[in-house]
Amino acid sequence: MWSPFSQSTLPIRLPQQSGALRTADNLVLPPAVGGPPLPEAKGLAAWNAPVHRDGLALVLSSGLSSVIGLGYWVLVARLFSPAEAGINSAALATLSMLGGIAHLNMQNALLRFVPVAGPRSTRLVTVGYVVAIVAAVLIGAGFALGAPLWAPEMVGVAGLGALVVFFAVGTPLMALFDVQDNLLTALHRAMLVPLENLIFSVLKVGLLLVAAVLVVPGGIGLSWILATGVAVVVMTVWIFASVLPEHSASTRETEPVTVRGIAHFAGTDYAGSIFWHAAIYGLPLLVLARLGAPEAATYQIVWTMTMAIYLVVTGMTQSMVAHAATDPASADAARRSTTRRALMLTVPAVVVLTLGAYPILSIFGEHYTETGTGALVLASLSALPNIVTASALAAARVQRRMRVLFGVPAAIATIVIGMSWVVATWWGLTGVGLSWLVGQSVVALALLVHGRIRHGNALAAAPAAV
């Protein structure tokens, strides 16, 4: 039986039939699906192409969130003790990690398949939401119930009952918040994502100030959860009441979307994303365990700024997947274009953070400069090889190259976590920053060498699917 995810279905362009694609098992996709890409515009005009315009909107969203988020953590550092800030930052990082794991990769599955699902989009999104919510409640509550074993510091501060409620409610909210930005991008509503995240970020800061004035126990965590809840509920109602019905009525199904096909894609991508989330959100727990709560507070600041640069290429590649999903043969060209534009935006930000690490961290206080300057320099440099690894993953999602979807994040996370565990006790947070730079650089170099040897182009196709 034909499956849209079997290796033999990767499309190839027919030279004698302009715009058509034929898979290896002789399935022809219509020109409306596989038409040749338009010649790439040059200079500033290139940024006006929908794929890059949507990518810029997502970058703007990330920038606004990061700047306001940085202000949020400045307030936390000034209004709360390093120990309290460290425990709460570790709890929120854990919540984000669990939310990312719990949505079972609906984030990337909807980004990849909603653009081609046509009238079946509403049903696809509904199933994705239900799966994410149920899984998130179970995973969040399960983590909290086991916290006396693996996070006794959190239990000691909050109490077991409050911790169960926090994670059982917060995990599904974080899962849906993760999914929504990708869903809006898939529905070609990426231009609204900055507004959504701006409202969320401002609300989060406002609630934090209220919690500080009223001395609300657990005010840091509560401000985050309440703001997330408002954003998720408002956007969910609007998407299902307006955007999805319009999308379903105005588009057609251009690619078979089956449970088996989605499960094959999502399962492999999900396995890789677990490793990635473990590195992103699990390291605060590692830092807390190996170095203590004050260092965990510093790492939260360092990673917030580093992640702001990472999110540049994340936004660009999300838009690339949404726009290239209907033409997998164009993925390599789209990857090269996306990489160039991501470099234009990322390099200046990396220069600012590497040269200004000390004065920037001095805003937060002496403790943060003493423990975090080296880490910020090294972690921000890792954003450069991250452009190569992230763009490779985006092309792999479009073309369903399963080895890449799993292998790239698994390799990066294994290096980063393993190296951090060893060197953190020797070099502190500087060792953790070095681990990010080494992990990203090793995997990026492997991808570039493979592309050059196999295809004569360092940014050509990654290893084939299996």
CA distances, 430 to each of 90, 275, 302, 362 (Å):
18, 22, 10, 17
pLDDT above 90 as % of the chain: 36
pLDDT in the model for residue 45: 56
- pLDDT class for 6, splitting at 50, 70, 90? very low
Q: Mean pLDDT check: name the lowest of 20-24, 336-340, 360-364, 451-455.
A: 20-24
Say yes or no to pLDDT of 345 above 80.
yes
In this predicted structure, the answer to whether residue 92 has a pLDDT above a threshold of 80 is yes
- Taking the CA atoms of 133, 134, 136 and 140 in sequence, report the sign of the dihedral they define: positive
Phi, psi of 21 (to 5 degrees): -125, 140
Q: What is the pLDDT of residue 8?
A: 37
Average pLDDT over residues 30-54: 56
- Kindly tell me if the per-residue pLDDT of 383 is higher than 80: yes
Overall size of the chain counted in residues: 466
Per the model's pLDDT, the better-predicted residue between 7 and 355 turns out to be 355
This prediction's pTM: 0.71
Token duo for residue 58: 């997502």
Mean pLDDT of 399-421: 93
pLDDT band at 300; cut points 50, 70, 90: confident
Mean pLDDT in residue range 159-177: 92
Q: Is 46 exposed, middle or buried (0-12, 13-18, 19+ CB in 10 A)?
A: middle
Highest mean pLDDT among 55-64, 239-248, 456-465: 239-248
Asked whether residue 227 carries a pLDDT value surpassing 50, the answer given is: yes
Q: What's the mean pLDDT when you consider all of the chain?
A: 83
- Tens-place pLDDT, residues 54-90: 888 888 887 888 788 878 988 988 888 877 888 888 8
Q: Six-digit token pair at 144?
A: 């909290």
Residue 142 has pLDDT above 60, yes or no: yes
